[in-house]
Amino acid sequence: MTLEGNVVHEGKTKILYKEKPGELIMEFKDSITAMNGRLKETIPGKGEVCSKITEIIFSHLEKNGVNTHFISRVSEKKLRVKELEMYPIEVVCRNIAFGSLLKRLPLRSGEELKRPVIEFYYKSDELGDPMLNEDHLAILGVSESEIKEIRGTTLKTNELLKELFRNAGLKLVDFKLEFGKYKSNILIGDEFSPDNFRAWLENRPVDKDLFRMGEGRDTVIKAYLEVLKRLEKVVN
Ligand code: UDP
């Protein structure tokens, strides 16, 4: 059967194919979306760039003792990953006050936080991805020890990536992770790309905020390529 025949999931920006037991192929599409899919565009080359940034970041994390689902590259836009049983949550980690945090705390936009802030959200388009506390997480079946481990991994990831981005001349403002279980281990899944993190180059965004702000495809792809180029330089 062709790969296309084995689609197990198609989302807004990625397609997952089943190839063999315990493994998936994750294909990055050239699409970009915002506002829950209401803003949509195709940017040629974006899938390849996001797959490469994800590969660089996940390889760097693995090298430093953080487990991810990444196995290997398959082709320009495709990565081979471990098949996880995903937690239905998004984990956001913040270093700088921006985005939705400004609606919760009396902080200045762009202000450095005294300490990283971790937030949990329920992945649900229907409910609008509501924020969760630890009681809500327990109702969703995420235990206290799992929360502790997810928090620890997120903080370690943040420390490693803050430094990597700093070396690349970028400021890591915030990012979103997803987690899943593989043979009773908790691994980072999904992707790590400018679609899911905020990074600033000389205090200007080089991430999906450009698209959210209404910038055209050329500006967006140029920024994503700049991030890739800078990360490639510091990991090689
Ligand atoms: N984020 C994401 N997916 C989401 C929501 C947020 O990848 O569904 C990322 C977002 O790109 C940013 C971080 O999580 O890097 C924090 O986002 P925030 O809560 O500030 O929400 P936003 O301002 O993007 O609505």
The pLDDT confidence band at residue 2, using thresholds 50, 70 and 90, is low
**For position 35, what pLDDT does the model report?**
86
> Above pLDDT 70, what percent of the chain?
98
For residue 100, the ligand 1 atom closest to its alpha carbon is: 20
What digits encode the pLDDT tens for the residues 157-177? 999 999 999 999 999 999 999
- For the record, the structure tokens of 115 come out as 């300490």
CA dihedral 226→227→232→234, nearest 10 degrees, is 110
Higher pLDDT, 38 or 159: 159
For residues 140-166, average pLDDT: 98
Give the residues surrounding ligand 1 with Cβ less than 6 Å away: 90, 92, 99-101, 129, 174-176, 196-198, 208
Exposed, middle or buried, 216 (CB in 10 Å: 0-12/13-18/19+)?
A: exposed
Between the CA of 4 and the centroid of ligand 1 the distance, in Å, is 30
Exposed, middle or buried, 212 (CB in 10 Å: 0-12/13-18/19+)?
A: middle
| DSSP three-state, residue 235 | helix
Lowest mean pLDDT among 31-40, 42-51, 117-126: 31-40
| DSSP three-state, residue 20 | coil
